[in-house]
Chains A and B, each alone.
Chain A
Amino acid sequence: MSPYVVIAAVVAVGLLLFVAAMGARALLAPRAPTRAKLTTYESGVDPVGRDWAQTQVRYFVYAFLYVIFAVDAVYLFPWALVVRGRLGAVSLLEIAVFIGILLVGLVHAARRGLLRWL
């Protein structure tokens, strides 16, 4: 039996849990919607303007950095598996070069102020 079948079953159970809970809620919870209740919450002030208003592009910077660096971790895991085999010290050097280049990128990002908030 493949462990993935269990995973699939767990996912199914999880969804079942959600559905069941929502069913219970539908049975038990009251429903009395009013206009005021359904209004978007704005700390007591009426909502004004688009929801984009405060969106900060700076968040994307971290997305970039993440995609740049974290995806490279993809190579670390396979390497970690085989390094104690035939590869030895040379491969250690190679991975050091690999990570070193990544670090240069990180330093570069830092120098160009990507990691400064203000």
Chain B
Amino acid sequence: MVILVSLVVPAAVAVWLLTGGRGVSHRSANRLATAASVVALAAVVIAVVVRPTVDRGWVPSLGLRWELAVDGISAPLLLLTAVLGVGVVLHTLDRPPQGGTTAAFHACLLLVEFGALATFYARDAVLFFVAFELVLVPMWVLITRFGDAHDPAARADAGGRFILYTAFGSTLMLVGILALVTKAGTSDLDVLAQGGGHGISVGTQTLVAALLVAGLAVKVPVFPLHTWLPPAHTTAPTAGSVLLAAVLLKMGTYGLVRLPLASLPEGFSRVAPVLAVLGAVGIIWGGLACLVERDLKRLIAYSSVAHMGFVVLGLSSGTRTGLQAALFANVAHGVISALLFVVVGGLKERWGDADLQTARAALREVSPRLGFALIVGLAASLGLPGLAGFWGEFLSVYAAWSPADDRPQGLFRALAVVAALGTVLAGAYALRVARTVWAGERTTPFIEDSRASEWGVIAVLVLGVLLLGIAPGPLLAMTGRAVSTIIGAAP
């Protein structure tokens, strides 16, 4: 029941905003959306604690059911989504969106939240796909309508790239899902995970796993398929960037865990080395790009590519540690990138653009709160111990150093080294940003510091970063059980 509440309330409010409530003022729309997302958050929290299940028929002729549940893998992501759902709505309070009606903006935010929650709840492969697709259009609207007001062409391009890439990925995934469902005879994800691909030939498993991985890799994104991400992040409004980085990308990794890794372990093990290599390349590529990137927002986006590289590397290692690391890094990246995008988005609004070459007032001087948040974010992002980023990346590299038995050990060790190098790159670009933006003496042109709702959101995210860094235990424990059901007794 709570599951349905957490889904229906945002969806219903979004639909009302799109139809009946088109004319409402910004404040009332925001209040309404806040209320809806808070209700959803409460329901998600309850659901995470109570772990209820929903199972209702929807399209019998396809065998498609509303099969929803919460487990250790999805719980952190659900929480993350629900929290950020509240966060982005609150963050919008002081910033009436440009380019469209405020009602539509809020509706899109709520729809993205609805789609993401449904994706994480879904326990039916086809339903997963449907929910996966749900976020596309609202996100696309956020980018193309409400994005960077200065550059309509870039908006259209970014939105188009986003939706075409991800639609390609998800359709490819659909082919994989259909193949999997046809071969296994069921679309229930739990049953599929239990079956573990038994009775399907290795060749088919590999093919299907490759399809699924390729499809999901677009969303993650994994190295050569990442080119949609930087423009999308750059042009999207802050709320959109936050959702994109913290929620949408997670759907990709979550899908990787649920579908190929859990359902087709043998096939996945064939694909994993390739995926791991691409993850490592992504780490280096993202880091190098960050070193030379002039646009701050785009820089953060590239750093996302690098971070997701760690997640992918952890996933590919095939060990419990690796999977744990991946799941942890996933959540950590969600929080960190949300923080960074809120800060950077705020800076871009204040500066008018996000070019690092332009001389600006040092944040340390004119806007200490934003500066502090930026430094925390950067520090967490480079994997400083004690902050959220550390555990995921550290464990990923560790897992890659000692991968599962059926993985080529030499290759993975080499990748571990490469990934470690990547953290060095991360340090380099983090310092570069800190030096150009935060440090210095200039005080002109003046920009306002963060206040009110924005500061509230930032504070919560900073708190999250610190908490995850200092006390990773609860989260690791939460994922631990679920991980062992997926990867049996492996170390």
| Complex contact flag A–B (Cβ < 8 Å) | no
